[in-house]
Every structure is written in C-alpha cells, then in structure tokens.
Structure 1
C-alpha cells in the first residue's frame, strides 16, 4: 500500500488529504472518501481505517476540512456545517477526476459529526455509490437534550457572542470541544474528555476549541431526517451506549433508509475507534464496502 500527500480545491481554499493506493493496484477502481467528526482532523485515528480498506483493494482518500488540520481556511477552527459538506462534495469531484478511480464507484465515510455529514451528502448526490456512517450525529435537538442545562446555556451565550462579533468583523469567540458535565463545551458526556483526548493525542495539529457560532447551527441541524432520500446502500455503525450522539434518532434514521445495513456495537461513542470494538467495526465496514463497490 502507498500513502501519498495530495490536495484539492474547495471554495477558495485547498484541503489537505492522504491518498491510499493498494499494492499491485490496477485501476480504474473504487474509492472511499473519508472525513472525521466534530473539530477533528485526519491524524486522529483515521489512518488505521484507511489502511484496512486499502488492504481489501480499495483506493481511499482521507481529508481535512477547511480551517482544520493541514488544510487552508481562515479563520482557523471555524466549524461550518455547510462548508464541511461542501468539502465532501469537492473531495468526491476531485477523486472522480483521477485516472485511477472509477467515477461510478465512489463511497463516502464519516464518523460522529462526519457520520451526519455523509448522510446529508449522500442525500444531495444520488450518484454516490455507498455511505458508511459511524456513530453518527443525526439530530441536533437530541444532542442538546443530552447536555446538562447549565452546559447548554453556557454554549448558547458563547454562540451568541460569536455570531454578534462575526457581524462586526471581530475574531471568533471560541468554545471547547469537550468538557465535564456543567462546562461550556460542545461535548460533555462522561466519556468525552478521556475519549476525545485519546484521539487528540494522536495529532500535533489538533486544537481543543472551535468558533462558538456552530453551537447554534448544530441545534438546528438534523441530517437523520434526510435518510429517506438515500437510494444507495448505507452502512450504519451504531454504538448502543453512545451519549454524545444519542442512538434513538439514529435508529429511526436507519429505519427510514431504503437500503440500510445496520450493525450495533455495545460500546460508547469513542470506544469504536480502538481495540476490539474497532476491529469488529472495521471488519464489518470493509465487508460492506467490498460487497457494494466490488460486486
């Protein structure tokens, strides 16, 4: 397997990415386009998924959203939901132009917030061949209810200040990505600090805060409501003990998906990235991707 550094244009900026090519590859062949979750970058655990997919004969592109990781984009740490989904579309357009890629066999993969992104992207582009949505964010209101009221209130204040400041051209007001119950942070589940921290330790480019205005956008976002429009095969990896992205709305979203494959794992939101839960999940995902992309 070969991993090379590449980039593609999204909007006015360049997104940094890794392109994985299987050993003895003879194309054109299928490809999996991968993005991460809330405030995360490609260095945070995605390489091992990509290597498993490449070992099964699939090309893989793993990219950083604009304003995160090694990608361009100012201000830094600006988490904009629409921009992230546009980055996925730009990544799909980029790989479809590669001579090694069969443009009709492009899958998108996302985890956590990225898991919600790929559900939305798949509903917007019916030519995508398959979707993998791992422990996905599917309903903003459900995620907000999972937070303690004091945390929700603190995030709301920061979001309001950031939105007001942005209208005046001021630098972003930041909010922490993870914190304890009661903190003003976007994720305050009991496993958020240790779980997200373990992923963050893998990346020297990680920053623990994002522009707070996204708090308002998350509340209004519900990619799970778009799943009835997904015509392609969709794989859902649901963590049954997930508190960060509550499973109830995800189970309902999967039930609305015409061609869904649903796997349940008896773990929390961050457990699926490591050890035995990871091994089980990546095996299931690899089997799904090979079955739909290399029939």
Structure 2
C-alpha cells in the first residue's frame, strides 16, 4: 500500500513523526484511522502490518506515528527521552486528529482512533472527550493503572518501588538525571516495567529485528513512568464514549493488562459497543495465527462504522 512519511507539531510544539498509509485506489476524501503504539513500542513493531491490512481491505487512510520521546519522534525540550506521560500522549492523539483533518486526502468528519495496550487505554479517554472521534478501537487495553500495577508488582516489592519513586523525585528536583528502569528482563523477579515472561519474549525478539533496544543508554524506561502508570485510570470516562461506536479487543489469557480488569471496564461502556475476545495472551493479536482473526474483526468494525457508505477495497471475509 502507498505510504509516505509525515510529521506534525503537538500543541506544546513537539514534532511527532510517522507514516500515512492510503489504499491503492480510493476517493479523494478518505476516512482516517489514527494509530499509535503502547508502552515503549515503536511504529515498526507491527503497526505498519495493521495499517497495510486495513488499507488493503477498506477505502481508508491510516496515520501511524511514534509517541513523543520514542522512535522517530522528538521529546519536549528539557524532557528525557523514554518517559511516558499519559496526559500528554492522550493530548497527542487529539493533535494527530487535527493534523489529519488538514490533509487533502482525509475526510475530516470521519476520524477513528486505534490504540493497543497502554495506548489502548488512551483511546478510551480520547474517544470520550474529543467528539471529533467517530470510532474507537481499543486493543488489549490498560484500563485501570492502580489495579494493573498491583497485579504486576509482587506485594513484597511495592515498598521498594515506593522508595525508588521518592528518591527519583528528590534527585530530579536537584537537577540530576532521571532514574532509569529496564523495560523487560529475562528474570521476571528482577526490576523492570513489564515483569512478565511474554513481555520479555516480545521485546527481545524486536530488539533483534528493529531499532528498539533495552540497553542502558538507549531504550530503558524512565522510572517515573511506572509511578504515573499506577495513577492512570483511562477507563473512568469509558461510559462517555457513547454514542461513538467502541470495539474492545481483549486477549483470553492476558496477564500484562489482565483480562478480568479489561472486561470490568467494558461492562461500564454504553452502547453501541462490541467485544472481541481473542485466544492467547497480550501479544498474540499482533502477529501469527491470531492476526487475521484480530485484524479481520477490526476491519469489519471499521467497515460498519467509520467506513459506512464507502466501497471496500476488497471483500471482507
């Protein structure tokens, strides 16, 4: 599918970079799906695969970008790279919508948002407060940071994490560098921001096949982001997404953003909403045997909502 590099400025003047995918054949004004990845992940880590799938099956554009401070995107001046501020990432989604609406290929009245994992939670909030959004696709979302944090972190490790948060705040107030934490570790009992075996397998594989690195000076995670994750509760607005259509995709055996926590959030959403439960764990919808089942259901949802009235590029099965 045709793809070109794009960049745009956020409301606080940070440059974010990514790609615009368009179908081989399409109308001059296309519905557009805004897509950004989850916790520390880069756009090259399967988002291009989803965007190519959607633009091959539907008459739709996909705007894919790296989160601020990651991949090709800049960080704010004086802010450390690899720090995740959920409020700013949510604001960046709205700025991406504004940019998409300025493009001659895009129908500004037909904008959808797609997020996965951490950004899967972001889109629940953005879909509720930004009424320009006409469809919300939330994949394996983090919906309740407090519950998620205390499910991932062993109770006997919490006090140590609390002490680390306080020490990091004091050090940064004195002008010292931000404390860093590995994203993953082969040993799930060692400190990392994603302490599950499937997280290590996913990111270790991409470390060999992309620019994502878990090295001390390259792709470690700013500790403060874990503290902010615990305070992040994007699903508290989920009932306000309605009447915008919502599709939530949940993995049957998700231990990273646990299945039951996501299902609880889904019960609080109002119609119109759809739930798709896929086999496997958190990362099993990105590629492999579950990809067609997952992306195909998402494409069908887009056909029924954002692309209603548009001619599909290819028949959906």
So what's the TM-score if we normalise by structure 1?
A: 0.95
Q: Tell me the equivalent position of 1:7.
A: 7
| Structure 2: gaps (5+ residues) | 309-317
**What is the match of residue 217 of structure 1?**
228
Partner of 1:70: 72
SS in 1 for 2:294: helix
Q: Does 2:262 correspond to 1:260?
A: no
Higher share of residues assigned strand: 1
Q: CA deviation at 1:145?
A: 2.2
**Counterparts of 1:248 and 1:224 in 2: how far apart (Å)?**
14
Name the residue aligned to 1:131.
136
Cα distance change of structure 1 residues 151 and 285 upon mapping to structure 2, 3 Å threshold: farther
Aligned-CA RMSD value: 1.5
For 1:235, the equivalent position in structure 2 comes to 247
Quote the offset at 1:15 in angstroms.
Answer: 0.1
Mapped to 1, the partners of 2:163 and 2:200 lie a distance apart of 22
Alpha carbons of 1:155 and 1:271: their partners in 2 closer, same or farther (altered >3 Å)? farther
My pick for the range that moved more, 186-195 or 15-24, is: 186-195
CA deviation map 1:177-203 (0-9, x unaligned)? 123332111111231211232344442
How many angstroms apart in 2 are the aligned matches of 1:288 and 1:278? 15
Which residue of 204, 223, 226 corresponds with 2:211?
A: 204
The normalised TM-score by structure 2 is 0.89
Superposed, 1:92-241 pairs within 5 Å as 92-147=97-152, 148-179=154-185, 180-207=187-214, 208-231=219-242, 232-241=244-253
**Aligned-partner SS, 1:143:** helix
User: Is the CA contact 1:105–1:128 (under 8 Å) kept in the aligned structure 2?
Assistant: yes
Give yes or no for contact 2:68–2:74 (8 Å, CA) kept in 1.
yes
Q: Which has the larger radius of gyration?
A: 2
Structure 1 residue aligned with 2:30: 29
1:118, 1:131 within 8 Å by CA — same for their partners in 2? yes
1:277 matched to 2:277? The reply is no
State how far apart, in whole Å, the 1-side matches of 2:260 and 2:193 are. Answer: 19
For 1:79, the equivalent position in structure 2 comes to: 84
Deviation >6 Å, runs of 4+:
none
- Structure 1 252/145 Cα, relative in aligned 2: closer, same or farther at 3 Å? same
| Shift in Å, 1:261 | 0.6
Distance 1:251 1:14 in 2: 35
Would you say the 8 A contact 1:31–1:106 is kept in 2?
yes
CA distance in 1 between counterparts of 2:213 and 2:47 reads 14
Equivalent pairs counted in the alignment come to 295
